[in-house]
Structure 1
């Protein structure tokens, strides 16, 4: 159980729920945004003293019943509720991020010749990719392992503006940090993930700002616009698919509308990779 993280999560989420959203009168003398501690305790059916101790990081180990009540009171999403259970130590088991890759997964991305495809782990390290993904993202085969982390690219790379607009970068940055928050809850003992978070908090004020929001949401499908120097702008659907029996890995595919200019741009890019 991570008492400090649990306390932080409860405080932040409480500040984001308005009284009107849960059917309570707003009043005129609220000094802080969101719900009061007493209101959360009332909505969750627990004593105010018990809830205060949870927010102060000194409470007892809450049961699943208590956590489910808090999730309802704070209007948590499914991803946020799962994060709450992980922080309180109620995961069925503590998973780990493994260093191996299933051979069948490598075969799969190799067969996807007309679709950019890559494998991403929970730390946002790129673990494998097919030639079209390498051509779309540029220079993957020429960098070292430490430079294959997407979080570092988004917040630290000066070249990111060449591929993503400011709006795209902002949307992707926010979604990535929310997803990394979820991963930090699922893998609390992973030292590399902890080191990545500590590094980004120290080096990137933008990352630190987003991390402090405590948004939790697992990335799934997302639309993305990528600008490539040779074939131009590509409007793609970025599909993030979990790998069966490997919760630490995800298969990412970039698909386009059949017959669209973006579809043709991907085909042109593939021809360039074949001829190079």
Structure 2
């Protein structure tokens, strides 16, 4: 049970709710944002004293029933409720260290997708594997070190070429929010993984934007269905974006494709011919 993180998460979710959101009168005097602690406790059917102790990180581990009541009271989404259980230590957690090894079958699959750019991303947003088209569209990942292949670092700390930090994607702001919510969930699943702890500390110290988003305690971001890359060779390429969870190893297979016959499909076909050397124009 991570008492301090649990308390901070509960406080952040309580403060975002207005009284009218839960059917309570707003009243003329409210010195703090959101619900009062006693209001949240009543809605969760627990004592105010116990709820206060939870937020202060002084309470014993709550039961599953108590957590369910709090989730309902604070109008948590499914992702937020799952995160609450993980913080309380009542949900199954992953192995102590996040996985970086990619299954051989996934590596073979990547190479069998000649018209689709594909990458495998770890729980810490490190690009672990890629195919030739992904290297042409984004970067020749084989030519950079492990730290430069981490998309979280790229998003918040920049890259060798600051103008191409995120490959000219159109949704950089949304992607940064997605990174923060993903890393917060990862940190809850792997509290003892030094790589995870070190990455979060590095990002908090090096990026005020990351620190601000991190302190919001969000754990769910909107899905990305399309993405536009501004490529130095073929210009803007708008592709469909599908992220498939590899649940057994806590990784994601991210695929970028385009409808047959579309301008984007033609651009991908040209990049497929050029191969990873097309990315050299970015550097």
Shorter-chain TM-score above 0.5? yes
Q: Is the 8 A contact 2:18 2:35 kept in 1?
A: yes
User: Deviation of residue 63 (structure 1)?
Assistant: 0.6
Q: Which runs of 5+ in 1 are unaligned?
A: none
- In structure 2, the residue matched to 1:77 is 77
Q: Greater RCO between the two (CA within 8 Å, min separation 6)?
A: 2
Matched, 1:30 2:33: no
CA RMSD between the two structures:
1.8
Q: Is the 8 A contact 1:176 1:219 kept in 2?
A: no
Alignment of 1:145-160 (within 5 A): 145-157=146-158, 158-160=162-164
Q: Is the 8 A contact 1:44 1:70 kept in 2?
A: yes
- In structure 2, the residue matched to 1:183 is 186
- In structure 1, the residue matched to 2:168 is 164
Given the superposition, is the C-alpha separation of residues 19 and 160 from structure 1 closer, same or farther in structure 2, using an over 3 Å criterion?
farther
- In structure 2, the residue matched to 1:268 is 270
User: Deviation of residue 245 (structure 1)?
Assistant: 2.2
TM-score, normalising length: structure 1 = 0.94
Q: Is the 8 A contact 2:139 2:276 kept in 1?
A: no
User: Deviation of residue 237 (structure 1)?
Assistant: 2.2
Question: Distance between the aligned counterparts of 2:163 and 2:254, measured in 1?
Answer: 21
Question: Distance between the aligned counterparts of 1:52 and 1:121, measured in 2?
Answer: 36
May I ask how many residue pairs the two structures share in their alignment? 274
Q: Is the 8 A contact 1:238 1:255 kept in 2?
A: yes
Alignment of 1:198-237 (within 5 A): 198-217=201-220, 220-237=223-240
- In structure 1, the residue matched to 2:66 is 66
Q: Is the 8 A contact 2:110 2:118 kept in 1?
A: yes
TM-score, normalising length: structure 2 = 0.91
Question: Distance between the aligned counterparts of 2:259 and 2:210, measured in 1?
Answer: 32
Question: Distance between the aligned counterparts of 2:135 and 2:11, measured in 1?
Answer: 42
Given the superposition, is the C-alpha separation of residues 124 and 208 from structure 1 closer, same or farther in structure 2, using an over 3 Å criterion?
same
Q: Is the 8 A contact 1:41 1:48 kept in 2?
A: yes
Question: Distance between the aligned counterparts of 1:223 and 1:214, measured in 2?
Answer: 26
1:85-112 deviation line (CA, Å, top 9, x unaligned): 1000012244341232211111111111
Query: What secondary structure is seen at the aligned counterpart in 1 of 2:128?
Result: strand
Query: What secondary structure is seen at the aligned counterpart in 2 of 1:159?
Result: helix
Question: Distance between the aligned counterparts of 2:104 and 2:155, measured in 1?
Answer: 29
Question: Distance between the aligned counterparts of 1:10 and 1:178, measured in 2?
Answer: 16
Q: Is the 8 A contact 1:219 1:240 kept in 2?
A: no
**Farther-moved stretch of structure 1 (91-100 vs 46-55):** 91-100
User: Deviation of residue 164 (structure 1)?
Assistant: 2.8
Question: Distance between the aligned counterparts of 1:222 and 1:205, measured in 2?
Answer: 28
- In structure 1, the residue matched to 2:91 is 91
User: Deviation of residue 258 (structure 1)?
Assistant: 3.2
Match of 1:197 among 181, 195, 200: 200
User: Deviation of residue 274 (structure 1)?
Assistant: 8.7
Question: Distance between the aligned counterparts of 1:156 and 1:198, measured in 2?
Answer: 12
**Farther-moved stretch of structure 1 (176-185 vs 94-103):** 94-103
